[in-house]
Structure 1
Amino acid sequence: MTSDLGALDSRGWWAVVVTYEGKVTCARFERVRRAPHPGGAWVRPGEWRSSLDEAAYVAGVEKIRDAIADGVVYQANLCRVLSAELPAGATIEGLGARLARGNPAPHAMTVKVPGLEVACASPELYLARDGDVVESRPIKGTARTPDGFLPKDHAENVMIVDLVRNDLGRIAEVGSVEVPGLCEVEEHPGLVHLVSTVRARLAGGHGWPELIAATFPPGSVTGAPKSSALKLLGMLEPVPRGPYCGAVGWVDADSRRGGLAVGIRSFWAEEGLLRFGTGAGITWGSDPLLEWRETELKAARLLEVASGEGAGQGLAERGARRP
């Protein structure tokens, strides 16, 4: 295990987790094989509590809208972290197996290494690499059905695509950045997203350290301009995001291939607690209460799987309260 991203350009197959705050965990495995997801015990977690309750979240949205009016940011992704007691006997592989059955996702991954346990059901590709070709597929825009998207969803997606283009352009061959897909509708369990694709070719001399340095944290979970959004969110969010909104995935250094998901739809075990993050992108056109409800929509399916509860129950009904 190492925190050196340069190891990903060496040899072997690696599991990779980078927290939103930048803590890197790279674990190289001696043996890699195809196998079913491992089973494990799972016990329903305790009562969920939120780092921001509805009133605090709505107030945060208003502050972001004020910052937009002042020209500080164009968009920012306001998040909250839910926590529940992790019962004795519950294992992260057990939760990962439940997610694989109940909420299959294109970039799902369960990671259990010393000091780190994550069960991720991410629908969003942060970075894929095949040799020198890299691709990102930012998600912006969430609705229950395709006809539920608002004009602000498309505008937000285009803003983030421009940000990702600029990030990749910092380490790409001149003229190689392209957008082969813009605001395409993707269906996922319980909701739909607008997804775009940005592709580029790495300039000579650049590898994983330079690629992540130029693009992290992912633009879809920060805002634009990224540096201003990060400062603003640091003032509005009371707890660290951890693996949520970071990067979770794998790298095969021998074949120079890899895939890192944006660490959304992710649970992680920490200090006897199970944590889960949810958030929404805020623009000038945002309705604060609707943004709160979007965070509930994004979390509902995953918490149902983890808790074994029926569909349609809101987080408020689950007791997701601010401590």
Structure 2
Amino acid sequence: MVASELPAARAGDERAFEALVEPHRRELHVHCYRMLGSLDDADDLVQETLLAAWRGLHAFAGRSSVRTWLYRIATTRSLNAIRDGRRRPPPAPAPPFEPPTPSARFEVPWLQPYPDALLGADEPSVRSLAREGVELAFVAALQTLPPRQTAALVLCDVLGFRLAEVAEMLDVAPTAVKGLLQRARAAMPAAAPATDAGAEAKLAREFASAYEADDVERVVALLTDEAWLTMPPATERYDGPPAIAAFLRASAAGRPGGGYTLLPTRAGGHPAFGCYLENRARGLLVLVPNPSATRVVGIARFLDDDLHRRFGLPDSLG
């Protein structure tokens, strides 16, 4: 089909071009998200990639597949966006209470979670990459690498491109790609194993019940000793159950409007919840379970009040 669509697209047929690139649009979006850690930036970069492809179609010689060609454009655009400082978080909202002193600084405040629904749950090839490809810890760790290391790791280890293909995409020698890969792999945490779906659902229900009730003791009982709490785009990070408990108590005591109501969804292969205060959407919360799904390793509380719409959640509760 590509053989017949390519000449028509080169001749200016926009429908033929759409047919050529549409099968790759979703995976390009995931790729740009991995590179920049932001849904909003991924939206922009996919549009930039397809526009560049349309304008540069005459130069596509067909020596590689259309998919490989599009990934080269998307990777180049992503690297340019990082170089130009695209990964700037929006201002963090001021809390309506005095928070305790954080344990550390969260270094990726532009991070946003990726909706599982956008991964294509009906496509096994896409679904199999969900946890390693877009889970929060993995994507956050990618953001701390030098950009070319990020690109090499994603293209080779997640997407399975050959070394020679990646070298051409990055316009470097294959030996340089090997070096980028070695340094990136050494810096990345071990991949998280898959969790039991039933145990994970039970843990999510228990957490939601305790969180909605502002029952800090019950929440803390569900945490591992190494648990963390982050609140992008805020830069505060709270490490360990005592620090998390102190923050949750301060939040419950100083928050106007009573307790939260949580609506379940999924983000980056993890349980997630839309947060509602006085029936109005107030961001998103993502849980990171331990491998056995008996305890919570991390809580990512995203403070973007528009983020729920990316997950198909309502603006308000009836």
TM beyond 0.5: no
Q: If the TM-score is normalised by the length of the shorter chain, which range does it land in?
A: under 0.3
Q: Which of 1 and 2 has higher RCO (CA within 8 Å, sep 6+)?
A: 1
Write 1 or 2 for the structure with the bigger share of helix: 2
| Rg larger in structure | 2
Structure-2-length-normalised TM-score: 0.24
